[in-house]
Structure 1
C-alpha cells in the first residue's frame, strides 16, 4: 500500500521542482488518456513554481485558445449551467451530508425502538428508569400495531381467508382513538 503523503509546501526548492515535474508529467499523461479514451475536448494551462517561466499549455496554445473562445461564444445560460461557486459547492455538500445524517438517525431510531420492543417482550422492567419518553412510547405503540397487523395477516393466510383490504391512514391505536407516534 502506498505511503500517504502529507500535503504541504515542499520547503526545498530542488525537491519542489522535481515533484512538480513528476506530477506535471502524470497530469499530462492523464489528460492525453482522457482525451483519447473518451474523445472529449480537453485543455490545461499549468504555471510552474518559477513565476518567470512560461506556463505549460496542453495540447497547444492555439487549441487552448480555440477551446476558450468556443466556451466564451456559448450562450451565458450554457456557460453557467454547471458552474458553482465554492460557497454553493459547500452548501450542496452540506445538504447531502445532512440528508445522509437524517437517514442514519432515522435508521438508528428504528433500531432503538425495535430493541426496546424486544426488551418489552422479554418482560424487562422500565419503571425504575427514566429512559422512555412520550415519543418512545408512541413509537413503541406504533411498532406494536404494525406487528399485530402482520400477525393478523399471517393468521388469515394460514386459515385460508384472504386478508381484508388495508385501510389507508389508520392503525389499531388510531382506531382506538390514540394518537399516532412520530414516523420511524
Structure 2
C-alpha cells in the first residue's frame, strides 16, 4: 500500500520544527549508511544547523570523511558538477520536463481532434448524397 504524499510546508512551531529536523537528520545519516553498505559506495554528508553550533559531518571517522571529500575535490569541476543539483537546477529541470509533456499532450489532442473531425465528415458524407461534409 503506497504512502500518501507528504505536504511540504514550513513548520511554524519552533519545537516541532527542531524535533522534525533532528529526526530527519538521523534518517538521512541512516540512509547514507545503508547506501554505503548495500551499494559499496563512499559517501559523506555535511550538515549545518541553526539548532547546534558548528557543523556535523558523516561519517564521524575523520579519515573516511577526508578521503571522500578529497576524492570529490580532486575531480575536474566539469566532472564534479555533472551530477550536482541545487534547487534552481532542479526546478529548471522539472519545468522543462513539464513543458515537454505539455507539447506532447498538445500534439496528441490535435491528432485526436483531427481524427474526430474526419470521422464526423465521413459519417455525414455517407448519409448525404452530395458527398460533402457540410462544413
Provide the TM-score with structure 2 as the length reference. Answer: 0.73
Distance 1:35 1:51, change over 3 A: same
Unaligned runs of 5+ in 2: 126-132
Distance 2:17 2:85 in 1: 31
The root-mean-square deviation of aligned C-alpha atoms, in Å, is 2.6
Unaligned runs of 5+ in 1: 128-184
Distance 2:35 2:86 in 1: 25
Count residues in correspondence: 125
1:43 equivalent in structure 2: 44
Greater Rg over alpha carbons, structure: 1
Greater RCO (Cα-Cα under 8 Å, separation 6 or more): 1
Q: Does 1:59 align with 2:59?
A: yes
Deviations 1:37-93 (A, max 9, x none): 1111111111233252x4221112332222112211123332233346655544443
Write out aligned runs for 1:1-184 (5 A). 2=4, 4-12=6-14, 14-52=15-53, 54-60=54-60, 61-83=62-84, 87-123=88-124, 126-127=134-135
Whether the 8 Å CA contact 1:17–1:49 is kept in 2: the answer is: no
Provide the TM-score with structure 1 as the length reference. Answer: 0.56
1:160 equivalent in structure 2: none
